[in-house]
């Protein structure tokens, strides 16, 4: 058996029912423990992100958690845009098409359900990351699940072991999901649409990546604060144009998505073509691609949240939580509705095979925007993918720094390898890398969720009592 086949089997194993149960079970448990506050306080969370919550919610949350908090390096909003940059990658565009192809149109329903449940997980894990953040050798504020595990879990050795493995898998994920898969998408998009040689794209992406990693969190935060709103609005306008152009199909598309979540084959034909998947496959791909998109439960977003200039962990947790809603409930839902209403699922290629992935997405947007549809998708992929490279550059470096016991002198090696991975991603075939990235996502989630569950009682009480 080839190595690629072994990796695919491992990917299927780690993303089996046990992990889906752990992710969804943890989210449901936290949502109930928090008395559905993530949903009730969503408006308040957005007000916090925009700095318009007034006096409501501000106060001595840090003291009530029994810890005096140092300020971070960037604003609360900048930390959120850095998180969004890391999550708003190709998963919001190609990932949705892949989920709805492999899991049927009902996979979109499970993506949204997973994100709503995941808001509770993101609120808790980000609150913990801000609470237990520390200082590195340069005196900079750093944090994330690995610091929470090493500091807060009972018994120093188990916490350090969990923290070590989380940081290790986070570094590997930054090379794969955060970098190589994104740079490969950029190279493909520019080559197919604008005939830019992949070698030229590799050189350009590598130079920009070097500038990003050398700039540090302050530079990354400024970059993402400019990029995220622009690329979000740009992409939303395009998806809305497709949906409005096919508005007559919208009720049928919505009904089909809801029906397919529980009985996928019942919607075969019409807008969705031939559907051969099971309800279990719909759930599996919806949950895994939802997590791939918003990273709720993986813990990586806590690394960015810990950099926020705040002394209020719960408030920052609410701000971080809004990223899940924006990333999946808004962006992925609109992508899925555009795909479904356009009728692209019924289209086939020159060989008569149903369109999948990138081809499916291009067909949906070309049906409305013509030749500009291909250019629109390509530009969106470039913006989203490069933003992800920027966001993961910081998260991966902080995880690597933890492995080096806070010694920043070794960071130059991480930066060198990260830039090299951007180059390799542009010129290599990445089927194996995609599967390895999925595996690293799963392996990051396990220690993070163990930590969240062990500390859930205290942090849920603090969040319930916050206002």
Output the pLDDT for position 114.
Answer: 92
Tell me the C-alpha distance between 288 and 286, whole Å: 6
Across the chain, which has 467 residues, the per-10-residue mean pLDDT values are 80 84 93 97 93 59 45 74 78 84 92 94 96 88 94 88 95 90 88 90 93 80 83 91 93 93 86 84 86 84 91 94 92 93 83 78 86 89 89 93 89 92 84 77 91 96 91
Instruction: Flag whether 18 is in a domain.
Output: no
Number of structural domains found in the chain: 1
Output the pLDDT for position 62.
Answer: 45
Instruction: Flag whether 445 is in a domain.
Output: yes
Instruction: Flag whether 24 is in a domain.
Output: no
Output the pLDDT for position 58.
Answer: 47
Instruction: Flag whether 17 is in a domain.
Output: no
Residues 288/295, Cβ–Cβ less than 8 Å: no
Query: CA-CA distances (angstroms) from residue 282 to 101, 195, 288, 356, 368?
Result: 9, 36, 10, 16, 28
Structural domain harbouring 420 = 29-464
Instruction: Flag whether 239 is in a domain.
Output: yes
Query: CA-CA distances (angstroms) from residue 17 to 120, 285, 335, 347, 436?
Result: 21, 11, 26, 32, 19
- Residues 6 or more apart whose CB falls under 8 angstroms from that of 367 comprise 242, 245, 246, 342, 343, 344, 373
Output the pLDDT for position 430.
Answer: 66
Helix (H) or strand (E) holding 156: helix 156-175
Instruction: Flag whether 8 is in a domain.
Output: no
- Residues 6 or more apart whose CB falls under 8 angstroms from that of 119 comprise 31, 38, 39, 42, 296, 321, 324, 325
Tell me the C-alpha distance between 435 and 389, whole Å: 18
CATH of the domain at 227: 1.20.1740.10
Tell me the C-alpha distance between 110 and 139, whole Å: 43
Residues 20/450, Cβ–Cβ less than 8 Å: no
Instruction: Flag whether 65 is in a domain.
Output: yes
Residues 301/110, Cβ–Cβ less than 8 Å: no
- Report the predicted TM-score, pTM, of the whole model to 2 decimal places: 0.89
Instruction: Flag whether 11 is in a domain.
Output: no
Output the pLDDT for position 46.
Answer: 94
């Amino acid at each position: 058996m080839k190595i690629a086949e072994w990796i695919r089997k491992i990917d299927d194993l780690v993303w089996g029912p046990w992990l889906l149960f752990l992710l969804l079970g943890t989210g449901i448990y936290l949502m109930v423990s928090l008395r559905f506050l993530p949903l009730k306080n969503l408006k308040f969370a957005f007000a916090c992100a925009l700095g318009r919550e007034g006096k409501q919610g501000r106060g001595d949350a840090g003291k009530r958690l029994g810890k005096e908090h140092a300020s971070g390096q960037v604003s609360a909003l900048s930390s959120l845009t850095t998180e969004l940059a890391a999550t708003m990658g190709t998963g919001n565009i190609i990932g949705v098409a892949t989920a709805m192809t492999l899991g049927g149109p009902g996979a979109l329903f499970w993506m949204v359900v997973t994100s709503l449940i995941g808001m509770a997980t993101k609120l808790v894990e980000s609150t913990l990351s801000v609470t237990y953040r520390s200082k590195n050798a340069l005196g900079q504020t750093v944090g994330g699940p690995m610091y929470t595990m090493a500091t807060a879990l009972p018994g120093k050795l188990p916490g350090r072991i969990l923290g070590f493995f989380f940081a290790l898998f986070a570094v590997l994920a930054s090379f794969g999901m955060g970098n190589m898969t994104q740079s490969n998408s950029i190279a493909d998009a520019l080559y197919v649409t604008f005939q830019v040689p992949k070698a030229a794209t590799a050189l350009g992406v590598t130079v920009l990546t070097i500038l990003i990693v050398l700039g540090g969190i302050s530079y990354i935060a400024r970059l993402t604060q400019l990029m995220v709103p622009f690329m979000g609005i740009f992409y939303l306008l395009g998806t809305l144009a497709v949906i409005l152009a096919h508005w007559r199909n919208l009720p049928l598309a919505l009904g089909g998505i809801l029906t397919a979540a529980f009985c996928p084959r019942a919607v075969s034909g019409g807008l969705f073509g031939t559907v051969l998947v099971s309800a279990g496959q719909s759930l599996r791909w919806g949950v895994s691609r939802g997590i791939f998109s918003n990273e709720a439960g993986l813990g990586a977003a806590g690394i960015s949240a810990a950099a926020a200039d705040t002394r209020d962990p719960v408030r920052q947790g609410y701000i971080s939580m809004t990223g899940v809603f924006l990333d999946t409930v808004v962006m992925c839902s609109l992508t899925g509705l555009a795909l479904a209403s356009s009728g692209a699922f019924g289209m086939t290629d020159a060989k008569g095979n149903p369109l999948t992935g990138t081809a499916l997405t291009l067909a949906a947007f070309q049906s409305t925007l013509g030749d500009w549809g291909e250019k629109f998708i390509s530009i969106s992929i470039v913006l989203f993918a490069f933003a992800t490279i920027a966001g993961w550059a910081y998260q991966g470096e902080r995880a690597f720094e933890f492995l080096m016991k806070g010694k920043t002198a070794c960071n130059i090696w991480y930066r060198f390898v990260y830039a090299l991975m951007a180059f390799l991603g542009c010129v290599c075939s990445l089927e194996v890398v995609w599967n390895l990235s999925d595996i690293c996502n799963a392996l990051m989630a396990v220690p993070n969720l163990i930590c969240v569950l062990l500390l859930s009682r205290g942090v849920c009480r603090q969040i319930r009592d916050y206002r």
